[in-house]
Amino acid sequence: MTGDVDFPELREAVRRLTDDVLIPAEQQMVADGQVSEQSLAALRDLGLFGMTLPHEHGGLGLGMEEQVRLTFEFTRASAVYRSHLSTTFGLVSRVLVDFGTPEQQQTWLPRFATGEATAAFALTEEAAGSDATALTTVARRTADGYRISGSKRYITNGHTASVLMVFAVVPEHGITAFLVPRPAAGLSARLPSRMNGHAENPVAYVELDDVWAPDAAVVGGPGEGMRLALTGINHARTHVAATAVGQGTRLLQEATRHAATREQFGAPLAELGTVQATLGRSLAELAAARELTLACARAWDRGAPDRHQISAAKLYATEMVGQLADRAVQVLGGAGIVGDSPVPRMWRDVRALRIYEGASEIHERNLARHLVALDRHGLPLWTG
Ligand SMILES: Cc1cc2nc3c(=O)[nH]c(=O)nc-3n(C[C@H](O)[C@H](O)[C@H](O)COP(=O)(O)OP(=O)(O)OC[C@H]3O[C@@H](n4cnc5c(N)ncnc54)[C@H](O)[C@@H]3O)c2cc1C
């Protein structure tokens, strides 16, 4: 499936990294309120910042199925590790691979691949959440490029990234993507006072006050921004589905271990019918999400990613892990609320998966519209 990467070996290395480095570092990460430089270095050393990039740009040259299988592994550890990588290897890298100029690719992609440079994807605004077309950030034409002004919010890695991909409205053309390297005069970021989930990698509010961008900073051409954004977002949606599977795997293992060892009424919880129903149903749903995500990844690798298939995988997997996390808390009882178990932290973390990269309701709406369109045209639901 890959060029010169030995994939089974790489997956085994990612599995060991997850079990031996990332999971053991979680308690310290929580205490520090951030991911340690040591953990980030371990992710960089395995080349995971370049996981989605082709060899020619210094990446691992993996197909989507391989990316998804690695994500199943390292997202058994805190989802916060992935959110450090995600905006660099997913959203921004993918847009630059598909639409960047050779100069933009040469400047950024090899540095992204090593993790030396990182990127943020600055789309969301106060008035433009699910309706991303309602952007008010504006980029006005000047003699020597553009001047960008506006406010972005909820931007993952927006306070640390070496470069931001900023989406702004060019009045004559529409939504346009710009690369804004840091530092830039007029660019600032601040953190929210509180994060309820993903606490160890907070999102940022980003201000752009008359930030200058040269013509060479435009990605893909003026007015092409939404098309570009959706390319990155569809890629990220597939990875978020895989993240839900990774998180679900760990949550189910944590719940199982507790149920097998905690005794009440003279027997392990795991011997109670209701607990067995909880664990058994969770495993079946987790397996279904895993297969749906793999099927979606294979469609990418065949060169035909269907956006409805992506929506279905993202919707199902993230809703599944929300329910699974809630059940895991219930199986743990008081230990799901009090103390150092990872389960309640993961319960809060996975809640965000149903909101970003298209909230569940947006995917439901897209899928319902798809059904109606198929019906109107007399097309079958399944082919093949
Ligand atoms: C941890 C985290 C990280 C993020 N990282 C980034 C990032 O890196 N870059 C970035 O640009 N953004 C980022 N976001 C923002 C994220 O993409 C938005 O939060 C998301 O698109 C939803 O927008 P909103 O929060 O404004 O909610 P709203 O759009 O106001 O939605 C609120 C509720 O209304 C529902 N709703 C809205 N419209 C409809 C409709 N037509 N039909 C039915 N229901 C509807 C939604 O489904 C949701 O349940 C991040 C968010 C979080 C929480």
Which tens digits make up the pLDDT trace of 126-160?
A: 999 999 999 999 999 999 999 999 999 999 999 99
**Interacting residues of 297 by C-beta distance below 8 A, sequence separation 6+:** 63, 64, 65, 67, 68, 238, 242
Predicted local distance difference test score (pLDDT) of residue 305: 77
pLDDT at 280: 98
How much is the pLDDT for 306? 87
74 within 8 A of 81, measured Cβ to Cβ = yes
Atom of ligand 1 nearest to the CA of 126: 26
Instruction: Please identify, by atom number, the ligand 1 atom nearest to the C-alpha of residue 86.
Output: 8
The pLDDT tens digits of the residues spanning 311-342 come to: 999 999 999 999 999 999 999 999 999 999 99
Q: Name, in order, each residue with C-beta under 8 angstroms of 85's C-beta and a sequence gap of 6 or more.
A: 43, 48, 49, 51
355 lines ligand 1 (CB under 6 A): yes
Q: Establish whether the linkage from the previous residue to 8 is cis, with ω within 30° of 0.
A: no
Can you list the domains of the chain with their CATH numbers? 7-114 (1.10.540.10), 119-221 (2.40.110.10), 227-377 (1.20.140.10)
- Give the number of the atom of ligand 1 that is nearest the alpha carbon of residue 198: 1
Mutate to test the pocket of ligand 1, among 124, 164, 191 (most ligand atoms within 8 A of CB): 124
The residue assigned the tokens 């805190």 is 78
Closest residue (by CA) to atom 26 of ligand 1? Answer: 129
Closest CA to 252 of 220, 223, 281, 230: 281
Q: Is 236 in the pocket of ligand 1 (CB under 6 A)?
A: no
Residue 126 CB–ligand 1 contact under 6 Å? no
Tell me the best of 154, 205, 235 to mutate to test the pocket of ligand 1, counting ligand atoms within 8 Å of each CB and taking the most.
154
pLDDT digits (tens, 9 = 90+) for 342-378: 999 999 999 999 999 999 999 999 999 999 999 999 9
The whole-model pTM stands at: 0.97
- The rounded Å distance from CA 189 to ligand 1 centre is 20
User: In angstroms, what is the span from residue 54 Cα to ligand 1's centroid?
Assistant: 30
- In short, whether 359's Cβ falls inside 6 Å of ligand 1 is yes
CA of 353 to the centre of ligand 1 (A): 10
pLDDT of residue 1: 40
Cα(328) to centroid of ligand 1, in Å?
26
**Arithmetic mean of pLDDT over the chain:** 97
Structure tokens given for 219: 């990605």
173 lines ligand 1 (CB under 6 A): no
